[in-house]
Amino acid sequence: MADPAPSTFGTVQKVRQPLAQEVNEVLTDEMIERWLAVATSIVRSRFKRSFDALVAAGKIDMDDVHMVCEIAAERVARNPDGWRQFGIDNGTGTRDQLLSDGQVKILPHEWARIYPEGATAYAQRANTLTLGTPAC
Cβ-contact 47, 59 below 8 angstroms:
no
Band of pLDDT at residue 117, cut at 50, 70 and 90 = confident
Q: Over the stretch 32-91, which tens digit does the pLDDT of each residue have?
A: 999 999 999 999 999 888 999 999 999 999 999 999 999 999 988 887 776 666 566 666
Q: Which has more pLDDT, 121 or 1?
A: 121
Q: Where along the chain do its domains lie?
A: 12-84+95-119
Band of pLDDT at residue 25, cut at 50, 70 and 90 = confident
Give me the DSSP letters along 12-51. HHHHHTTS-HHHHHH--HHHHHHHHHHHHHHHHHHHTTHH
pLDDT confidence of residue 20:
80
SS3 94: strand
